[in-house]
Amino acid sequence: MNDIEFFKINNVNVVSDDVFFADIKNVHSEKELLSELNEKLSFPSYFGYNWDALWDLYCDFYWVTQHNIFINHQGVTALPEDDLYIYIGIVVDTCKSWREYPEHNISFFFPTSERDTILRLKKEYELSPKGKIIEKELSERKLRGLFPFNIK
C-alpha cells in the first residue's frame, strides 16, 4: 500500500505479528513529534531529532522485522503549519520511496477530520520544487535499480 489513508473512527489499533504499529497522538511541536516518533517507532540510538534524520529513518526501517508498518496519527494538525508541511512532505517522500520495494508496506493513517489539511499540504508539497526534485531522483534511482535511501 505505502500510502496516506484516512479513517472515520477515533482510533486505529492493530494487533498482529506482521504489523509494527505506532500511535502518535496530540503533538504540538516539532520536538514533541520527533520525540513521540522516536519512542513509538523504536528508532536507533543515533536518531538526530531533526527532519533530515527522520527522512533517513523513514526510508530505511532496517530495525523493524515486521513487513507492515502502520503509523497512526491523531491531532497532528495541531503542529505549526510550517512543521506540518515538512512532516507531510517526509510522509509523501516515504510513500513514494517504498512503493517499488517489498521489504516493508508502510501506511500513514490520519483521522478524516484532518483530511482536508493533510491533502492540501500533500498537494502543495508535490507541486513544490523540492517535491518535484525528489520525484525525479526516485525515478532515476528506480531505473538504475538502486534503493532510494539517503537521497539528498
pLDDT higher at 151 or 67: 67
What mean pLDDT do residues 31-36 have? 97
What mean pLDDT do residues 23-43 have? 95
Round to whole Å and give the CA distance between 22 and 25.
10
What mean pLDDT do residues 35-51 have? 95
Please give the pLDDT value at position 151. Answer: 33
Please give the pLDDT value at position 59. Answer: 87
Please give the pLDDT value at position 9. Answer: 45
**Does the pLDDT of residue 149 top 50, yes or no?**
no
**Does the pLDDT of residue 152 top 50, yes or no?**
no
Please give the pLDDT value at position 4. Answer: 67
Please give the pLDDT value at position 80. Answer: 95
- Name, in order, each residue with C-beta under 8 angstroms of 73's C-beta and a sequence gap of 6 or more: 24, 25, 108, 109, 110, 111, 114
Exposure string (b/e) for 50-60, b if CB count within 10 Å is 16 or more? ebebbbbbbbb
